[in-house]
Chain A
Amino acid sequence: MDKTTAAWDKTSSAWDKTSSVWVARSTGWRLARSALAVLLLIGASAFAGAVDSSPVLNAIKEAGAIRIGVKTDVEPFGYINSSGEIVGFEIDLAEDIAKRLGVRLIKVPVSTEVRFQKLELGEVDLLLATVGDSLERRKIATAIEPGYFESGVTVMLRPGQRLKDWNAVRGKTLCALQGAYFNRPTSEQYLLTLQTYKTVRDALLGVTGGRCDGFLYNAPAIKNLLKKAEYRGYTADLPEALVTPWTMFLRKSEGGKDFEKYLGDVTADWYRNGLINRAASTWGASSSRWPADQMALWNRKESNGKYTCDRNDKGQWTAECRRVEFVKSDDVSGLHALGLTLKENTGIDLSYVYDAYDRHQIGMGLAYTMLLTALSIAASLALGLVSATLSEARIPVLSRLVFFVMSLGRLIPPLLMMYFLFFAVGELLLTNYEVKLPAIFVAVMCLAYYSAGIIMIALHEATLLLRKTKPSFQLTLGTLASAIDHARWPIKQALINVTKMSMIASAIAIPELLSQVNLIMAEKGNLVVMMSTLLLAYYLITSFWIHAFTFLESRFYPSRQQS
């Protein structure tokens, strides 16, 4: 007893010592840091305008080419025209940048969901891809001020449901894009249920296929969609909300370097030499106030003949030319000290620990994944057993037909089946019979079709094996149990494979774990942490199901255990 107390005392005094050392060191560090800051300030004012050279710019010059991440599915900003070229308002701007630098332009198509990952990984040098500026995004990348466009968000509604203001949208289900900055604030404010897709094409197929009441997206792109014949009768009368500048983005480490300043100056020049105005009218890119407001601001001059918008000695634009009313989507209410402390001390951003919204997303993703997996397992097994019995029943035509159709299942990618059933057949059913196929039904059926074929063939082979010892063996509902006994291993493998494939369902907007993780990653930029979480979570989920199968196996076939 005494010993332990003494030991305890020792450790606690040691603890005191280390913490006091730490305090001393931290005050010392603070002093050094302020001294450094003063020095830097003096240095900065002495060499006003001198900025570090950018590694990205150097690499561009060396390669003789700039890789700009652009959209290919948002008319009129960046899209593929009838002759297969990527064109649009943003492409004109990208071409001007390449021309000014005297390098070749490589247009790299990016999606809303993965554009920041591609930027951070260095697969593109610069993003010019309908990115709205936000505080969140400035945490993971460097925004170029000023913006080259501005827009708000609006809703394109299916025919016959006019809504007069945003409050009337409350509770609606809308199709949206994974990773759009306005998803979270609008869904929180107006209690929207969002189905988020990976591309504009998929989201629009969701709208026309009647899976949601409308499309939540940036207003100019929606205005452009409404001009098309296929969206006749659709409306978008809601006023633009959350008006935000669109800016180019560089990697985070490029902040404060000369390339950032260069691109800012280029953008300012676009407003002054009229290029942006010409490009905007060529492509019909405008919003309620833009470009008139920015044209006036950037061309206005003070009494001394200088532009109102000019860089000060810190290299920043005059305060009134900067937009600081960014959408604040990171109201970290419900702070949990653990997550934040971890983030501050180690840089590991477990946002789903401290952020209630993210936590809810992950929880929902997990629930959907488990539900989807359970339903798919049940459906695969049922479909597999039924088709095995039918195909072995020697019914003329039917037995052969069942065998043929079901054995095709394992030869077709489930992802392809899902696109086929969800978008192609789904639209056909809606327009002709007003039947709406639920996404989860589609996912379960596709996964079941894929695996049921494997189960059927395994049972078929088990039947052939049983006939070797007992030639009269016939697969019926009564003898199914003994056939399953012989086909246990392949059936179990097929079911394990089902649990591993459930995440494909993210492609048709089912909010399962992968979708939710992508959503958080696009907002928070905590790539490695979220990806590692995903791997770990799926490892545990698959292990759970393997244990469940083994348990059930031992319940039904206690005699012989197989690994």
Chain B
Amino acid sequence: MIEVIEFLVTWTPFLLGGFLSNIGVTIVAVMIGTCIGAGLGRLRMHQRGALARGSEFLSRLFRNVPTLALLFFAAFVLPREFTVYGSDVVIEIPLWFKAALGLSGSLIGFTSESLLIAHQNLKRQDDSAVMIFVPTWGASVMISFIASSTASLVGVSELISRSNSIIAATGTSHLIPVYLYCAVFFIVACLLWAALIDRMKTSSLLLSLLKRAAA
């Protein structure tokens, strides 16, 4: 037992580093996904014709394609670097950023859908229904956070990939404690996030922000 604890303590900094990249990738994905999704949602509210239909199709595409498929697509089809048009500036796309792009897909689809629903509720002057956006958005962020673990399958050095690395490198027989320990990281982070969302549900600042976005 003490041996197991010593083993886990030894590797905690290494695992924690991996977990930080889960969090980092998720934050970037949420930012990209929410912004693009809100943009698509607004196009659907205020435009007619091809533009509205195009953004509706894109929203549905991102909603229906699994995150892992987008992740593989982003990791292997997007170029590693590109040259800014008309200049010599070469911009490199790191793997974790590609993973964030892949993860952002479901958030794009989700934000666009939910904003549209909030827009309809706003028309009916139903403020509490507008705020439903917050817990559902919080839940979809949590799903993306959980899905960030699949970035290990394309080679991002996050928590699960690091736990597999230490299992392979040390040849340890403590597979069960290592995996359970990793689960604790996710559980704690998710519970903290859920508590935060619970507070945000009644925030008046968020309500006014949402009203502007869905207007």
Would you call B208 an interface residue if the criterion is a C-beta within 8 Å of the partner chain's C-beta atoms? no
Would you call A416 an interface residue if the criterion is a C-beta within 8 Å of the partner chain's C-beta atoms? yes
Complex: A542 Cα to B147 Cα, angstroms: 17
- Tell whether A413 pairs with B179 under 8 Å between CB atoms, given A114-B76, A199-B168, A538-B69: no
Which of B38-46, B150-158, B198-206 is near enough to bind chain A? B150-158
Contacts of B169 in A (CB 8 A): 80, 84
The answer on a CB contact under 8 Å between A503 and B69 is yes
Closest to A108 in B: B155
The answer on a CB contact under 8 Å between A420 and B153 is no
Would you call A348 an interface residue if the criterion is a C-beta within 8 Å of the partner chain's C-beta atoms? no
Complex: A427 Cα to B179 Cα, angstroms: 14
- Tell whether A201 pairs with B167 under 8 Å between CB atoms, given A428-B176, A535-B70: yes
| Chain A min CB distance to B177 (Å) | 9
Contact mask B36-77 → A, CB, 8 Å, 1/0? Answer: 000000000000000000000000010011111110110011
Which single member of A230, A424, A450 contacts B175 (CB below 8 Å)? A424
- Tell whether A500 pairs with B66 under 8 Å between CB atoms, given A416-B160, A428-B176: yes
The answer on a CB contact under 8 Å between B176 and A425 is yes
Which of B1-9, B27-35, B122-130, B183-191 is near enough to bind chain A? B183-191
Complex: A556 Cα to B70 Cα, angstroms: 34
Complex: A534 Cα to B79 Cα, angstroms: 18
Would you call A367 an interface residue if the criterion is a C-beta within 8 Å of the partner chain's C-beta atoms? no
Complex: A121 Cα to B75 Cα, angstroms: 10
Contacts of A546 in B (CB 8 A): 64
Contacts of B190 in A (CB 8 A): 410-411
| Chain A min CB distance to B44 (Å) | 14
On chain A, the number of residues with a Cβ less than 8 Å from chain B's Cβ atoms is 51
Contacts of A386 in B (CB 8 A): none
Which single member of A411, A497, A543 contacts B191 (CB below 8 Å)? A411
The answer on a CB contact under 8 Å between A531 and B167 is no
Interface centre among B66, B79, B149, B165, by most chain A C-beta atoms within 10 angstroms, is B66
The binding surface of chain B is classed by DSSP as: helix
Would you call B182 an interface residue if the criterion is a C-beta within 8 Å of the partner chain's C-beta atoms? yes
Closest to A503 in B: B68
Contacts of A73 in B (CB 8 A): 168
Contacts of A411 in B (CB 8 A): 142, 146, 186-187, 190-191
| Chain B min CB distance to A404 (Å) | 12
Which single member of A80, A114, A419, A499 contacts B179 (CB below 8 Å)? A419
Complex: A504 Cα to B164 Cα, angstroms: 16
The answer on a CB contact under 8 Å between A201 and B77 is no
Contacts of A501 in B (CB 8 A): 66, 68
Binding site for B on A (CB under 8 A): 73, 80, 84, 111, 114, 117, 121-123, 198-199, 201, 230, 408, 410-417, 419-420, 423-425, 427-428, 450, 497, 499-504, 506-507, 514, 527-528, 531-532, 534-535, 538-539, 542-543, 546
A114-B155, A503-B68 are known contacts; what are 19 more A-B pairs with Cβ within 8 Å?
A80-B169, A122-B80, A198-B153, A201-B167, A230-B171, A411-B142, A411-B146, A411-B187, A411-B190, A412-B187, A413-B150, A416-B149, A416-B179, A417-B183, A528-B77, A531-B77, A534-B69, A534-B73, A535-B70
In the complex, 5 of the A-B residue pairs with CB atoms within 8 angstroms, ordered by the A residue number, are A80-B169, A416-B183, A528-B77, A535-B65, A538-B65
Instruction: Give me the 4 closest cross-chain CB pairs, A-B, nearest first.
Output: A424-B175, A413-B149, A500-B66, A420-B179
